[in-house]
Amino acid sequence: MRLMIAPVPSGSAARRVFWLRSAAAVMVVAAVRGGSAPPNDPAPSDAPQHNGFRFSPGTCEQGPEFCALATPRAWAPAEIALVRAALDEIAASDLGRWITLRARRNGFVTLRRFAHAAELDAEGRYGVQPMIVATTHTDAGHDTRTIDLTDRFFERESARDHFSGEPGYLLTTEILAHELVHAVDLRQQYSGTAEFGRVARLGMPVTRQRDADRVNLERERLNGEGRYEAAWEASRSFGIVSLRGRLPSVQALDSYREAFAEFGAHLALDPNARRRFEPRLLLFFERTVSEAP
């Protein structure tokens, strides 16, 4: 809503409306190639850097069709400043530092800038996805791993969360943290485990799922109107008020992959998250960090 999210197959039409952020939006262009060799870095050698990440204009290795739709952009100084501040805020917590370190170890060291997100459809043609805000991009064919940010991301530069204290985290910071957690969870190393499925507890009664579907439709409407804080408040209210804090947002219901990214981002950024989440979920993340190589 991420941050907003690319569609995930679901039996409910409303749930396909996901956060239009990235939320997920990992754009996996091809299966990730095995091996330990680091991916190519598409950023120019003189690209600005911060905390081990490089700021690169969008690149066109996916071909002219993709390039014409996604429209690579150069970074504006104010945009770099916003993302640098977000990286600093994420790394201010122990978990956030671990997330940024693991994302870099997995090869996600380049932040690219595009006007739009573009994805392949069922016929193998690229189409613009105007509601996707950010993506964790893996392209094995070109040995590339990047986090891509669109114009939609920067439209949220002043929007804040109102459930994480005062003044509350910026939505852009949460979106970036969410994508970094996706980069940690490469090939669903964590979110795809049976243990995470047990502790995340995404299942719910039919009536509650209908409520979630209504919230997703409301989010879509509000985001389409540019009312980003209101859309995020609706998502967060469902998790914190309706579910009494069991989930950080309605977006966590999209998939286990999305849930892992939402839990991780909020444990890094929201000082209230630890008292809201269930103890077994907290224990899962503590073990994940302590046992990671």
Is 101 a member of any domain? yes
Mean pLDDT calculated for residue range 90-113: 98
| Pairwise pLDDT comparison (147 vs 24), residue with the higher score | 147
Is 157 a member of any domain? yes
State pLDDT tens for residues 21-58.
443 344 443 333 333 334 556 666 688 999 999 999 99
Number of domains the chain contains: 1
Is 148 a member of any domain? yes
The pLDDT value given to residue 262: 99
Is 9 a member of any domain? no
Q: What is the 3-state secondary structure (H, E, C) of the chain?
A: CCCCCCCCCCCCCHHHHCCCCCCCCEEECCCCCCCCCCCECCCCCCCCEECCEEEEECCCCCCHHHHHHHCECCCCHHHHHHHHHHHHHHCCCHHHHHHHHHHHHCCCCEEEEECCEEEECCCCCEEEECCCCEEEEEEHHHCEEEEEECHHHHCCCCCECCCCCCCCCEHHHHHHHHHHHHHHCHHHCCCCCHHHHHHHCCCCCHHHHHHHHHHHHHHHHHHHCCCHHHHHHHHHHHHHHHCCCCCCCHHHHCCHHHHHHHHHHHHHHCCCHHHHCCHHHHHHHHHHHHHCC
Is 274 a member of any domain? yes
Is 3 a member of any domain? no
| Lowest-confidence region among 90-104, 129-143, 155-169 | 129-143
Parent domain of 48: 14-291
Is 8 a member of any domain? no
What is the value of pTM for the model shown?
0.86
Is 1 a member of any domain? no
Q: Residues of the chain with pLDDT > 90: what percent?
A: 80
